[in-house]
Amino acid sequence: MVSDRAAGWAARIWAWIGGGLVTLVGLPLLLGGGYLVFRGGSPYYLLAGAAVTATGVMAVRRHPAAGLVYAATLAATLGWALWEAGFAFWPLLPRLFAPAVLGLFLLLVIPTAPRGARRNQSGAAVALTSLVLLGVQAAALPATFSWGQAASPAVVRPQPPGSETPGSGTPADERAGDWRAYGRDPGGSRYSPVDQINRENVDELKVAWTFRTALPAHAGDQDQNTPQMAGGAVYVCTPRNVVIALDPDTGREKWRHDPKVQSHFWHRCRGVGYWDGTEPAPTSASTPVTASGAPTRAPARAPAANAPAAKAPTNRVPATNAAPTPVAGQQVAAAPAPPACVRRILSSTINAQLIALDADTGRRCPGFGQGGVVDLRTGMGAFQPPFYFQTSMPMVAGNLVIVGGWVLDNQAVGEPSGVVRAYDVVTGELAWAWDLGDPAIDKLPPEGQTYTRGTPNMWSTPAYDPALGLVYLPIGNATPDYWGSHRTAVSERYSSSVVALDVRTGKERWRFQTVHHDVWDYDVPAQPMLVDFPVGEGSAPALVQLTKRGQIFVLDRRTGTPLTRVVESPVPQGAMPGEWLSPTQPYSAEMPAVGVDAVTEKRMWGATPLDQLACRIRFRSVRYDGDFTPPGGPERPSLQFPGNAGGMNWGSGAFDPRRGLLIVSDVRMPQTVSLERTGEARLSPARVAGRPPQSARAIAYASKNEWLLSPLFAPCLEPPHGMISAIDVHTREIVWQVPAGTAEAQAPLGLRSGLPIPIGTLGIGGPITTAGGVTFRAATTDPYLWAYDNATGAVLWKGALPVSAAGTPSTYVSPKTGKQYVVVSAGGGGNPLAPKGDYVVAFALP
């Protein structure tokens, strides 16, 4: 009897504990669900919360029907989940998995009820429904591994004659195996016409070599570098602008140059410029294009004093420096050393310097600027160091090197100028300046003046067409990004635009604006892509501009006229007091928009139902009217989607001319925006040691931007959060669209799940593609380099990296061995909690 009494007490205590825990789950659902209904949201959480709470109370009281109530709740949950989310693994996860697990837990509590048929029925019902929910969840899993792949392969189309990379300005006889520029060629195609590595053998890739820079990451560092190969060396740059030359076959260090830069934050180096003085000046130096588009002849520039006379294109040292052919019995004298700085690396730094290095030795070129350095602060006026510097590579255009600058966002008005400048690649002399605020300033500003302050800047990478003699600038917006009532008429004309300049003079040819009165930080982030675009029965020289909005604009790069229809569509109104908004915005009507499906309550996600409920409440608490919802105030923030990271960003896209495929990667993360009035210029003390800005007027409003995250720091928007898409430029339709990366390195609270399930992760670095029919991309939260089939989007291979990568990979053919490599810098990605590293990893076939 004593043992029966003890067992009874134990059952009651366990019922109190187990039922109490179930009740603790139900009450937040009940109360939060009630608030969600008050906000106009789904009634499910209120009803489910009431049912779960009732189940918990009944379990505490050891009621034998507790399980039946919960089983009915699970059955209703399954129907609701399939109605809202469909048969999709990730959207179903927070709706089904946790409720099923709670049901299995309840099975441990049900036996505390008095014995009888009702108790047995409760247990069976809960077990059955819980297993059904888990079974449905599991059944939805296999489809994620073929998510978005093409049902039929993309067609291989005949290539236009005479060019491996149509429209890129890269002739077919140039070193096909080089990767000379950030986008491989001046037109940013990110297409390599080599095919040693192809769809059939890419799964055989192995690590060929690994190099470590021995420069550990510090606060503010992010490795976004794209390795470049030219002239028999691979060139990489670290976040703090240390440039290193490596052997293409072994990864052995040849030389390094450390500029010992000092900067407070935002340490980035995406690439370097490469110039070869043994090659003739590109076409644009001798064939400028008139306003009508007809070429006119002009004398070619004379070669530099320290460079040999221009001959046929070659990467070899001129014959005068070559060793003589040995003759039997004759001693051969050593070959003379090549002239210094005949080939150059141009590096722009995070402390606003432009440095010219000898590509063979890493030494500074003494005839360039002052001891190999041009001070980019000249003409800018007074400013604190964090307000202006360079993060993107300088563009080498013939015998000029063109630089813009990154300007600190959202801090003040009257920040440093967005001037774009071109320098002589040999002497460092300023060739021209484009000051959009004062076209009369075409070189240095007059004594006592500065370039126009507060104008939109070019922080990303331009493109260059040697045949047309035009350079194409992706322009940002005037600061601060989210408040524009103070902006000048000239800033309004140029913000978030693409601008074409005559490369010889810096004079404007045309411009096209992608956003009017941009108060969403939708500046143009991607390098313009120069391709031959099908029009009617033929093709036209086109500029393809990817945007943060997910819109893709296709322009005739000779005139700026749209080749695909652009329409002005009405957008939401209702700005903060003192602000105004454009009534319409441009949309690309004949190209697919990527990743722009409207955010709805049904698309809210999270790790658990409670997490998802919190996200739904947050969604219902902000203003969201679709595209271009005006920035909100602290009482009711606005929801911005796509967010200011994109859509597409500085990673840009790739173009496969064999299949006519435009391949892009995008980010899908909404953010909230809140404007708060401020009476003084706002600066983060951690960024600039608390010092106030110089020569800057106070901003009217300070913006607070936050990712839309759950209380467990899971994204509130359901996956995917990053995708890769292939667009057929002939049909102008998406051929395939697949998630980029797996959930392996993702979990709530910044943890790692270890699940190799495709989910589509955040990442800004872009794709590259090859004649072998393979697209490569890193820039996922998991530590891999991925290879995709251009025809279908299927994953062909993934190569493990020591840590994740943030930048864009490249591919090259070694001039010594003829072997093709794929190389990527791996520094730890953009997640501040992710492991950091200092790796450069090259893959090759065995």
Query: Catalytic positions, please?
Result: 521
Task: Report d(CA 285, CA 294) in Å as an integer.
Answer: 15
Phi-psi map region of 521: left, alpha, beta (phi>0 left; psi -120 to 50 alpha): left
Instruction: For residue 57, give the H/E element and its range.
Output: helix 44-60
Closest CA to 673 of 410, 407, 387, 457: 410
DSSP bridge partners of 345:
274, 357
Region label for 526, one of left (φ > 0), alpha (ψ between -120 and 50) or beta (otherwise): beta
Name residue 209's beta-bridge partners.
842
Closest CA to 730 of 661, 787, 682: 661
What is the dihedral angle through the alpha carbons of 791, 792, 797, 798, rounded to the nearest 10 degrees? 120
Cα–Cα distance for residue pair 749/253, rounded to 1 Å:
39
- Cβ atoms of residues 462 and 471 within 8 Å: yes
Q: Which residues pair with 244 in a beta bridge?
A: 236, 256
- In angstroms, the Cα distances linking 326 to 316, 330, 332, 579, 733 are 19, 7, 6, 78, 61
Whole-number Å distance between alpha carbons of 806 and 649? 12
For 258-379, where are the E strands, in sequence order?
A: 273-276, 343-348, 353-358, 373-375
User: What residue has token string 């608030």?
Assistant: 35
Distance CA 551, CA 533 (A): 17
Instruction: Give the span between the Cα atoms of 801 and 841, in whole angstroms.
Output: 7
Instruction: Please report, in angstroms and rounded to a whole number, the separation of the first and last CA atoms in the chain.
Output: 77
**CA atoms of 360 and 33, how far apart (whole Å):** 67
568/548 Cα distance (integer angstroms): 18
Residue 804 CA: distances (Å) to CA of 751, 760, 832: 15, 14, 12
Q: How many H-runs (helices) and E-runs (strands) does the chain carry?
A: 8, 39
For residue 592, the 8-state DSSP code is -
Encoded tokens for 754? 């270890």
Q: What does 635-700 look like in DSSP terms, one character per residue? A: SS-EEESSBTTBSS-TT--EEETTTTEEEEEEE---EEEEEEE-SS----HHHHTTPPPSS-PPPS
In angstroms, the CA 548 to CA 544 distance is 14
- CB contact at 8 A, 433 and 420: yes
Question: Using alpha carbons only, what angle is made at residue 551 by residues 546 and 555, rounded to the nearest 5 degrees?
Answer: 65
- 3-state SS class at 255: strand
SS (H, E, C) 530-574: EEEEEECCEEEEEEEEECCCCCEEEEECCCCCECCCEEEEECCCC
> 233 and 322 in contact (C-beta within 8 Å)?
no
**CA 525, chain centre distance (Å):** 9
Residue 537's contacts (CB-CB under 8 Å, 6 or more residues apart) are none
Determine if residue 741 is left, alpha or beta; phi over 0 gives left, psi from -120 to 50 gives alpha, anything else beta: left
| Whole-Å CA distances, 103 to 96, 124, 137, 278, 613 | 11, 11, 15, 74, 19
